Amino acid sequence: MEQMTLGQMGTIIVWLAGIISASGVISAFVTKKMKGLFKDEMAGTNNRIDSLNNRINNLDVDNTKNFLVEFLAKFDCVGDHCPTVTDEELQRFYEVYDHYTKPKEEGGLGLNTYIHEKVEKLRKQGKL
């Protein structure tokens, strides 16, 4: 067996430190490039998902408004020609109306428009 000198041990330590440092630099470079590549590749998909979310939200708004307008139109009647509203229909109305008026942060639509005014008017008249 050969004896190793301090100079040789120092050289080996410096060589190992260089390999470790180089590995870290290469790893960081590859990671950064892969993240950028992945982000670029996913940008189109993210845009499509955002577009779909906007379309779904618009459909939700439209369908909710349509339901509420149709339901409230039942109360625009004269005399004995008013259709009867069941308890279940009234309960469903309030579920949808709560979704309509609940803030977006709580999962609702956060809307307050002419429908809200109509509901308040019907409540004052005792129809709701």
The whole-number pLDDT of residue 40 equals 77
Three-state SS letters, 3-50: CCCHHHHHHHHHHHHHHHHHHHHHHHHHHHHHHHHHHHHHHHHHHHHH
Confidence (pLDDT) at 74: 86
Q: Is pLDDT at 115 greater than 80 in this prediction?
A: yes
What is the Cα–Cα distance from 12 to 17, expressed in whole angstroms? 8
Q: Is the pLDDT of residue 1 over 70?
A: no
Summarised one tens digit per residue, pLDDT across range 33-92 is 888 878 878 888 889 999 999 999 999 999 999 999 999 988 887 767 778 888 999 999
pLDDT of residue 79: 67
Q: State pTM to two decimals.
A: 0.64
